[in-house]
Chains A and B, each alone.
Chain A
Amino acid sequence: SYELTQPSSVSVSPGQTARITCSGDVLAKKYARWFQQKPGQAPVLVIYKDSERPSGIPERFSGSSSGTTVTLTISGAQVEDEADYYCYSAADTKMVFGGGTKLTVL
């Protein structure tokens, strides 16, 4: 299918590890990207090619992949990491976003 499924919300305390999953058949064959979006701002790329981190993104952000699921991990989440997170991948000649996950850090 061309859908990417994410949990609607994840909540952690500061310093804990946050994990956000994204599932979809296309992920078995295509790389995923992860975007962070804070209120009123454009999205920012935090992970590409399942597990690569763009320059300027803190090391606490990491990504992994297994079968049809990719996972964004924030190790030692900080209050400033509170945001919406979206996975994104290719599906045939189209592109698709996951529904988004609201990460609460408090």
Chain B
Amino acid sequence: EVQLVESGGGLVQPGRSLRLSCTASGFTFGDYAMSWVRQAPGKGLEWVGFIRSKAYGGTTEYAASVKGRFTISRDDSKSIAYLQMNSLKTEDTAVYYCTREGITDDYWGQGTLVTVSS
């Protein structure tokens, strides 16, 4: 059974950093790109970015709203994807989901809440 479990969320002050983790199980992690999606309270879904598998270079893409502040990385030996968030802003407050997109399916974690507030 495919499982994605996010962790690392919490309350952080504006301008500070936070790192989220997404621990995967139930599939060959290294074969898949991994994405991060967020949802501000009461708002819609917003794509944050993704990291390709090593077979496709392990490169990353980001939404304009986070480019230069957020970094996605992966450790295939541990089946973990990371979202390093720097220079956090109040508008980054959201539930952050990691996702695995397959050709015919899609898996999401339960999400982790990040609150940016002084």
Asked if residues B111 and A48 are in contact (CB atoms below 8 Å), the reply is: no
Is B105 within 8 A of A96, CB to CB? Answer: no
Interface size class of A (residues with CB under 8 A): 20 to 34
Interface presence of B27 (CB below 8 A): no
Q: Are A97 and B46 in contact (CB under 8 A)?
A: yes
Interface of A, secondary structure class, is strand
> Total number of A-B contacts with CB less than 8 angstroms?
48
A1 to chain B, nearest CB (A): 13
Asked if A35 and B45 sit within 8 Å, CB to CB, the answer is: yes
B47-A93 in contact (CB<8A): no
Cβ-defined partner of A86 (8 Å) among B35, B44, B63: B44
Contact B104 A42 (CB under 8 A): no
B45, B46, B61, B109: most-surrounded residue (chain A CB, <10 A): B45
Most buried by B among A48, A95, A98: A95
Cβ-closest 5 pairs across A and B: A45-B106, A42-B108, A100-B44, A95-B47, A97-B45
Q: Which residues of B contact A (CB under 8 A)?
A: 35, 37, 44-47, 50, 61, 63, 97, 103-106, 108-111
Please list the residues of chain A having a beta carbon within 8 angstroms of any beta carbon in chain B: 33, 35, 37, 42-45, 48, 52, 54-55, 84, 86, 88, 93-100
